[in-house]
Structure 1
């Protein structure tokens, strides 16, 4: 059996608007169906669902989506798009305009952190950052 696991995001009436926003940011993304209660969509080929469930539940930092980026240009792009109307946080975290949390992370971070000589300096450097700066991490 091949069970597909997907994410369901709970909105207070903005599910389709949010899906359109997310699909405009990520390549290989599309809305696959929509009705007043829910929207299904794909972000970079990953199936997602938005549910217009009402105001009783809000997003918090206990759940986030991680966007792994190869280049500073990718980090800058996703950071700019996703913080539009949202808010920056520390260490590559942000909340979009719907209150959902994202982590915009350079793919090289794990390698840098595991370097016995540089790992500590890299950690000290990124703890001071909001949006990650790859050059600063490499020079730590």
Structure 2
């Protein structure tokens, strides 16, 4: 018997759950659609969705389980919740930034944050960033932070150069 994931993030979409799940599973490895449920006639006066239309999609991204719900236009995404994608190197940063920001809101891009075409916020972060921002030399950490605040997509090479300049 497999272990149960105690906490599962749930995405509330108006009617785009299928499109979003296809988009996300095309980007992340170890991803799959696990289960799809459909609206029934019961509760029609509450949910207002067409009988037979997709209600939920259970799916995995990088082995993490999520649920997408077609819940109607009552709620929308905002930046109060975001998903952090930890990247091993600049190549991964470039890949995830490029894919997740396709047709997204360019005005919402800052300091590694982006908003995708569904309004979901993501943070595309190189794993080295934490080390740079908590550098032993507070001046290095501060200069790295100042440089990062000028960026949309994180450029690890530039941040490393800031550190190197200060260490010489």
**TM (normalized to structure 1)?**
0.96
Going from structure 1 to structure 2, the CA distance change for 1:120 and 1:9 (only over 3 Å counts) comes to same
Mapped partners of 1:106, 1:37: distance in 2: 35
Tell me, which stretches of 5 or more residues in structure 2 are unaligned?
Answer: 38-53, 163-168
Q: How does 1:94-105 map to 2 (within 5 A)?
A: 94-105=114-125
Contact 1:16 / 1:34 at 8 angstroms: preserved in 2?
no
Deviation at 1:2, TM superposition (A): 5.7
Higher-Rg member (1/2): 2
Deviation at 1:116, TM superposition (A): 3.2
Tell me, which stretches of 5 or more residues in structure 1 are unaligned?
Answer: none
- Partner residue in 2 for 1:29: 31
- Partner residue in 2 for 1:128: 150
Displacement over 4 Å in runs of 4+: none
Contact 1:125 / 1:137 at 8 angstroms: preserved in 2?
yes
Measured against aligned partners, the alpha-carbon deviations of 1:31-73 in whole angstroms (never above 9, x if no partner) come to 1111311100000000000000000100000000000011111
Mapped partners of 1:109, 1:51: distance in 2: 33
Mapped partners of 1:114, 1:131: distance in 2: 20
Deviation at 1:87, TM superposition (A): 2.2
Superposed CA RMSD in Å reads 1.3
